[in-house]
């Protein structure tokens, strides 16, 4: 049986991590209107370095087969989150051959722990249809109040 391990994203992993993010977006049906790779590489390199982004990876026999990501942001405190610190969950992806084996949940455990350690009072995600079951079973609650305005 293949050995599965978990580890944090390193700067050396960033190019492959960005490729996997693009694979995830394609799988979710995103329209490819531009070359996203330069922006992803800049974001991951910058925010991994300054500590405002963290990721855990699932690795099987040296190959990354699952990813997670957590960006840390801060907004003015509010009653249900007096720190104002929020973990924005992203980049949750498991290679199709490894799905339904608990890998995404194990990755989620690790990045939620990172958010807790960073002092976040909440974790937010915009989930794909595929991810909703995982997140709601984990304890995430749907909140239909969030809207986006494109600039």
Q: What is the pLDDT of residues 51-80, one digit of tens each?
A: 999 999 999 999 999 999 999 999 999 998
Tokens found for residue 13: 């992993």
Residues 136-141 have a mean pLDDT of 87
Average pLDDT over residues 114-139: 87
Name the 3-class secondary structure at 124.
Answer: strand
User: Is pLDDT at 7 greater than 70 in this prediction?
Assistant: yes
Mean of per-residue pLDDT scores for the chain: 91
pLDDT above 90: residue 141: no
Using DSSP, state whether 7 is helix, strand or coil.
strand
What's the predicted TM-score (pTM) here? Answer: 0.90
Maximum alpha-carbon separation in the chain: 49
CA-based angle 80:49:69, to the nearest 5?
Answer: 50
Q: Which fold has domain 4-138?
A: Aminopeptidase (3.40.630)
């Amino acid at each position: 049986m293949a050995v599965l391990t978990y580890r944090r994203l390193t700067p050396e992993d960033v190019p492959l991590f960005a490729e996997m993010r693009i694979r995830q977006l394609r799988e979710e049906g995103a329209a490819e209107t531009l070359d996203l790779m330069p922006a992803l590489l800049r974001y991951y390199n910058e925010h991994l370095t300054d500590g405002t982004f963290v990721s855990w990876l699932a690795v099987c026999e040296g190959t990354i087969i699952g990813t997670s990501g957590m960006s840390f942001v801060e907004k003015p405190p509010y009653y249900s989150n007096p720190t104002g610190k929020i973990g924005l969950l992203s980049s949750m992806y498991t290679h199709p051959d490894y799905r339904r084996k608990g890998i995404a949940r194990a990755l989620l455990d690790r990045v939620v722990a990172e958010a807790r350690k960073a002092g976040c009072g909440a974790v937010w995600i915009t989930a794909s249809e595929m991810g909703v079951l995982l997140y709601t079973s984990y304890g995430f609650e749907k909140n239909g109040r969030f809207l986006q305005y494109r600039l």
